[in-house]
Structure 1
Amino acid sequence: MSEFVKAARVGEIPPGKRIFYEFDYETVIILNVDGEFYCIADLCSHDDGPLEDGALTGHAIECPRHGACFDVRTGAVLALPATAAIPTYDVKVEDGFVFIENLDE
């Protein structure tokens, strides 16, 4: 069973926006897509570049470096040049807070 860490208040991530959360060895992106929260690695599987500034269209995030796209719900590749999925992490919302899977555990 995953341990969770409190990452933000729900109101800190309005629909269409994102925030970053830093663990000891990894940074993740928490995204709000139409009121649903998702958490992905800040790492394009194509060239290990950051996804932090990538355009978010619906559930797709585009790598700003080479245009690879990923589904934020599953990490699945939606467009080349990436061929491998990106990591996604569990998210839950309780009492007005967004909790994400604790990667430091």
Structure 2
Amino acid sequence: MALRRVCKKAELPSGDSVHIDDPEIAVFNLDGKFFAIADVCTHDQARLSDGELAGDTVICPWHGACFSVRTGEALSPPAVEAVETFPVVLKEDYIYIEL
């Protein structure tokens, strides 16, 4: 597996997310723990990193589908299919994801 550097840990405050391209992935900071999921809602292709974070759930900005940022599970309609998750690796001051 290849590692892709996302950003410095200090650049992603708790309760926030960052989007990366190719592939589209959202990385979330939940109180110092980092999680990465595919940044595309399985219902209608909206960017989840633009959604609201409520606890460990991201709410799709288009139709309100909810996903667990920990597991990728679809938690509420209209989405029924989970989003892919990616392992996060912390090295020194940086956040990486495994692709």
TM-score, with length taken from structure 1: 0.88
Distance in 1 between the 2:80 and 2:87 partners?
Answer: 23
Shift, 1:99, TM fit: 0.6
Distance in 1 between the 2:98 and 2:51 partners?
Answer: 22
TM-score, with length taken from structure 2: 0.93
The two structures, once aligned, show a CA RMSD in angstroms of 1.0
Letter in 2 for 1:70: F
Q: Percent identity?
A: 37
Report the equivalent of 2:58. 61
User: Which consecutive residues of structure 1, in runs of 5 or more, have no partner in the other structure?
Assistant: none
User: Which consecutive residues of structure 2, in runs of 5 or more, have no partner in the other structure?
Assistant: none
Displaced runs of 4 or more, over 6 A: none
Report the equivalent of 1:74. 71
SS at match of 1:67: coil
Shift, 1:52, TM fit: 2.5
Report the equivalent of 1:28. 25
- Residue number among 69, 86, 97 corresponding to 1:89 in the alignment: 86
Letter in 1 for 2:35: Y
